[in-house]
Amino acid sequence: MICKQLFSRVYIIIVFGIILLSGCSSYQYMSVNSYLEQNESQEFIFENDTIQLKYSFPGENLQITILLFNKLRQPLYLDLERSTVVINNYQVENPFDPEGQVNFIAPLSYAKIISYPLSDQMIKLNPKDSLIEKTTLNNVGRIYSYNEETTPLYFRIILAITANDDYSSPTFFDYSFWVSDILQTSTGPKSMKYNPSNQFYVGKTTGFGKVLGWTGVILLLFLSALLLAAPQ
């Protein structure tokens, strides 16, 4: 009976250990820059007499959000088949999910489109490629800074918008963006106090965490077998 109680306690400790080890992750918070103007929320804005576009990138794995405002007293039409994203000179096939997305923008109204997650890869950081490398004020990680020429991630967003319901004669809104700062840290998104609209993140479990996690699972299975075999 004592032996079984001991096994039970160790079993609980390992379960908690696996939960804690799941936090052995590495994150990169990537700040995006552009030649477009920004508002107080750090959204990038284009505006003319016809339409206003607001670009933001909050969340995980570069999921683009675009808020469109039709300034006209007639509808506008967004051709998703001819709208695309180009990342590091490679065109992304169907970046915007056609199902459930807006392609009709009513007069004097807002509409929103959201892309698929477009980049889940961690950037291999090399201080030699960075203009600036510094430790953050609260020591949560290190920041690497880039300009348009040295950035490891450069992308263009191209929207085809027209006033014709057959999508003919569209105007192409083609604007460029690039990652200007990367914060490398083990701090997860739930613990980050500042989440601007021009920043997204990617993350992965570290090799150390994976090894210890699998070790814990093996021990957990072993102890489970011992508990089942222990006399009642």
* Domain positions in the chain: 19-225
Residue type at 228 in one-letter notation: L
Q: Tell me the two tokens of residue 10.
A: 């160790």
Whether 13 shows a pLDDT value over 70: the answer reads: no
Q: How confident is the model at residue 214 (pLDDT cuts 50, 70, 90)?
A: very low
Is pTM, for the whole model, over 0.85? no
pLDDT for 51 equals 98
Whether 95 shows a pLDDT value over 90: the answer reads: yes
- Report how far residue 150's alpha carbon sits from residue 130's, in angstroms, rounded to the nearest whole number: 7
Q: Which residue has the higher pLDDT, 107 or 99?
A: 107
Q: What is the mean pLDDT of residues 208-225?
A: 51
Helices (H) and strands (E) counted in the chain, each on its own, are 2, 15
Counting residues of the chain whose pLDDT is more than 90, the rounded percentage is: 65
How many CB atoms are closer than 10 A to CB 146? Answer: 22
Q: What is the mean pLDDT of residues 167-187?
A: 96
